Structure 1
Amino acid sequence: MEQQVLSAAFPILILGLGWTGQFLAELLVSLQLNYAATTRDGRNNTIAWNLPSDAKDMDVSPLPFAQTVLVTFPVMQPECMTALMDAYQKQHNQTSQWILLSSTRPFKGDPATRHTPLDRTKDTGRMGAEDVILERGGSVLHLAGLWGDQRLPKNWVPRFATTEAIRNKLLNRQLHLIHGKDVARSIVAVHENFRPGERWIVTDNGCYDWIRLFLAWGNTEQIVIARDLAQHDETCHKALGEGTLEDIVRCGGVKPKLDSTEFWDTFQLQPTEYLKIE
Structure 2
Amino acid sequence: MEQQVMSAALPMLILGLGWTGQFLAELMVSLQLNYAATTRDGRNNTIQWSLPSACQDIDISALPLAKTVLVTFPVMQPECMTILIDAYQKKHNTQSQWILLSSTRPFDGNPANRHTPLDRSKDTGRIPAEDIIVERGGSVLHLSGLWGGQRQPKGWVPRFPTKEAIRNKLLARQLHLIHGKDVARSILAVHEHFRPGRWIVTDNGCYDWIKLFLVWGNEEQIAMARDLAANDATCHEALGDGPLEDIVERGGVKPRLDSTEFWETFGLEPTEFLKIE
- Would you say same fold, with TM above 0.5? yes
Shift of residue 105 of structure 1? 0.2
Counterpart in the other structure of 2:115 = 115
Give the Å deviation of 1:166: 0.3
Q: 1:77 is matched with which residue?
A: 77
CA offset digits 1:28-72 (Å, max 9, x no partner): 001111000000000000000010111111100000000000000
Q: How many Å separate the matches in 2 of 1:150 and 1:40?
A: 20
AA paired with 1:251?
A: R
Between the aligned residues of both structures, percent identity stands at 80
1:267 maps to a residue whose letter is F
Q: Deviations over 1:192-223 (max 9, x none)?
A: 00012x11000000000000000000000000
Which whole-Å CA distance do the structure 2 matches of 1:252 and 1:186 have between them?
29
* Counterpart Cα distance in 1 of 2:250 and 2:270: 26
Distance (Å, rounded) in 2 between the aligned partners of 1:65 and 1:241: 58
Runs of 5+ consecutive residues of structure 1 not aligned to the other structure: 1-6
- Summarize the alignment of residues 1-278 of structure 1 with structure 2, pairs less than 5 Å apart: 8-196=8-196, 198-278=197-277
Q: Look up the SS of the partner of 2:117 in the other structure.
A: coil
Residues 206, 256 of structure 1: 8 Å contact kept: yes
Cα deviations across residues 149-202 of structure 1 (Å, max 9, x unaligned)? 110000000010000000000011100000000000000000000012x11000
Tell me, yes or no, if the aligned pair for 1:8 and 1:64 is still in contact at 8 Å: no
| CA displacement, residues 57-106 of structure 1 (integer Å, 9 cap, x when unaligned) | 11000000000000000000001000000100111111100000000000
What is the TM-score of this pair, normalised by structure 1? Answer: 0.96
Q: Which amino acid in the other structure matches residue 132 of structure 2? A: V
CA contact (8 A) 1:204 1:273 kept: yes
String of CA shifts for 1:234-260, please: whole Å, max 9, x gaps.
111111011110000001240000000
Q: TM-score, normalised to structure 2's length?
A: 0.97
Q: Using the alignment, how far apart are the partners of 2:115 and 2:195 within structure 1?
A: 15
Residue 8 of structure 1 and its aligned partner are, at CA, apart by 4.8
Aligned-partner residue type, residue 225 of structure 1 = M
**Counterpart Cα distance in 1 of 2:27 and 2:252:** 34
Amino acid at match of 1:107: F
After TM superposition, give the deviation of residue 263 of structure 1 in Å.
0.2
Deviating runs (4+, > 3 A) in structure 1? none
1:242 maps to a residue whose letter is D
Q: Which amino acid aligns with 2:104?
A: T
* Structure 2 unaligned residues grouped into runs of 5+: 1-6
